Structure 1
């Protein structure tokens, strides 16, 4: 994060995190609160470790960081706005088609299992076959930005179960998302609906597409469909990869109370969208990612090999 973006962020959160001095001691300034909060997910260090670089006690950090992350998620809401009109959905679909050559895609969805150290006496509530986790369900657009995130479900629930517990799925079923009506893609493709892409863990619906299973790949057309869909859907996997590489808190179990974990995770998702929007060249540079050769379909590797 460069200084310009940091100063902009500081001006947004300062009115909400500024505290008054008392006759006993000087209040911790918004600048100190914000820098400590940004260091926590970026480094993945504990409160005990951060006290040396921030000069703030672990007890105070335990209050400051979740509170500031919650404020970050709220003030950065304009960078994570869910489309509410047919025009905005069509803008997303147009960009997906330009970049990934798949028409009428309005978002890619997937779940990321975030490892935590569960509360005492929680039993198997957070346990699944991968370990002890909470699930981050995300829908992303073609610009590597989150459209919507949900992080309230324990790891025992599958991705499909997480989806069905969200307000997004309820609106999707009740057709309250203001998605554009099906229209023609070409002379050969008529009345095609606008859809979200997902993997095999999600339900197949008119507005949710997923690949054909391996046993059903009995034609070249199905294989091409799987290739195109997977190529476009992998953008959500890339977003999770960027998030985990830039915020190292996701690379080890998070040792916080579940409600504080939610605030930190949601705050980092909002920061991700801000940095993609404001300084994507340094936050997620193109030369650090695999790219595809448009002529022969081969993969071009770059700095990601080093």
Structure 2
């Protein structure tokens, strides 16, 4: 061993000893008091005495929290060791819900829950994964023919749009630029994002979600590459048979409604493009927007309940996808059990409408005819709304 190698080994040894010497505490004194002063142990029992305060804190009722905890308890619990006691499942779930509900960072939550930021990150990731894995089919269940008919009836009742299977759109979820990602996640709004592509019913609940596409991709591209769209083309979604929307009218397919970013297809309607449209087309666009607004409202309720989406997600892309999927499941879970409160919606809707028409197929004559039949129905005596003429 020559002199240079000896000097290098000595330097490494000095650095290693210096690191060991600088680490004064294995667990910081602030974090050692979790069992006494941590937010969960200090506040949780008090919140359970007030249903309204509990809902405001966790974004769900006491009953919903308990049921959720019972479902996940065996999946998220950890064993005690000779070094320390594990964090109980109830507290792990509480930390995760508080992270989603407030948008606080792991470092912020560290001081309130008295749990290390790295530990909180691991807890949130684990709980989010398990929420998606074990609750997806419960909260975003596969659609049967009876469920489709229920959705169709819902849109007819609330939006006066016949044969409507749901509203579809994409929402950009802001993220911190992933390392070495180039411009893949940079969207037309000039920030980095991944896309939540979703379909909803007239009760503001998700019936399909696709998460993780690059922010630079167009809505139509993401939708047409999804498993949902492929099953739609293969006729494997249990969609009811086409039916007439008017007395003695032609049989028309059941359709999803989307904005200008989507292409006109057999089971997907988009508005007429251009300016200075004739009255019939303007009425159609208005009636389509009344049905399509449900997905915009769903995104608004979603983001205002889980306010982690009010800021860029400062985690890696895989973790961000886990967070979004879990939040979508929780959105439906809470909506099914607790409904939604006005304060979840009054802050305004997210800007998620894509204005570009790039790579859009206009559709052939048959598809244009289907849209024209809907347009004819909306101006007929049977299908018109008294106030629609004042809205165009």
Q: State whether TM-score is above 0.5.
A: yes
Question: How does 1:142-291 map onto structure 2 within 5 Å?
Answer: 142-215=202-275, 217-218=277-278, 220-282=279-341
Asked if 1:17 corresponds to 2:76, the answer is yes
Instruction: List runs of 5+ in structure 1 lacking aligned partners.
Output: 300-306
Q: Secondary structure at the match of 1:214?
A: coil
**Matching residue of 1:114:** 173
Asked if 1:53 corresponds to 2:146, the answer is no
Gap change, CA 1:280 and 1:117, over 3 Å in 2: same
Q: For 1:138 and 1:31, how far apart are their aligned partners in 2?
A: 30
Cα shift at 1:214: 2.8
Aligned alpha-carbon RMSD (Å):
2.2
**Matching residue of 1:36:** 95
Gap change, CA 1:185 and 1:129, over 3 Å in 2: closer
Gap change, CA 1:295 and 1:196, over 3 Å in 2: same
Gap change, CA 1:74 and 1:225, over 3 Å in 2: same
Instruction: List runs of 5+ in structure 2 lacking aligned partners.
Output: 1-59, 350-384
Gap change, CA 1:238 and 1:20, over 3 Å in 2: same
**Matching residue of 2:192:** 132
The number of residues matched between the two structures is 294
Where do 4+ consecutive residues of structure 1 move more than 3 Å?
281-290, 294-299
Q: Which has the bigger relative contact order, CA under 8 A and spacing at least 6?
A: 1
Q: For 1:196 and 1:43, how far apart are their aligned partners in 2?
A: 33
Q: For 1:111 and 1:3, how far apart are their aligned partners in 2?
A: 32
State whether residues 32 and 54 of structure 1, in contact with CA within 8 Å, keep that contact through their aligned partners in structure 2. no
Q: Secondary structure at the match of 2:220?
A: helix
Q: Secondary structure at the match of 2:109?
A: helix
Q: For 1:281 and 1:179, how far apart are their aligned partners in 2?
A: 28
